[in-house]
């Protein structure tokens, strides 16, 4: 189900934990911006806590 996420070097799933329990998460995608000499920026979405 998430194998494409694992294989994509520009997609990150970050989690925060407290006492060994996941308490928050975000999805972050790195995008190469063609209008600024392909300098990367990040899109962060689905922030939960």
Domain boundary assignment for the chain = 3-48
- 3 has which bridge partners? none
Block residue for tokens 């494409």: 4
Strands of 7-38 (E only): list them: 11-18, 21-33
Within 10 A of 6 (CB to CB), how many other CB atoms are there?
Answer: 9
pLDDT number for residue 48: 73
Per-residue pLDDT of the chain (49 residues; tens, 9 = 90+): 578 777 888 998 889 999 999 999 888 999 999 888 999 999 988 777 6
């Amino acid at each position: 189900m998430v194998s494409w996420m694992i294989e994509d070097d520009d997609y990150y799933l970050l989690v925060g934990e407290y006492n060994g329990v996941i308490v928050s998460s975000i999805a972050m995608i790195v995008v190469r911006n063609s209008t600024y000499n392909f300098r990367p920026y990040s899109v962060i979405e689905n922030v939960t806590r």
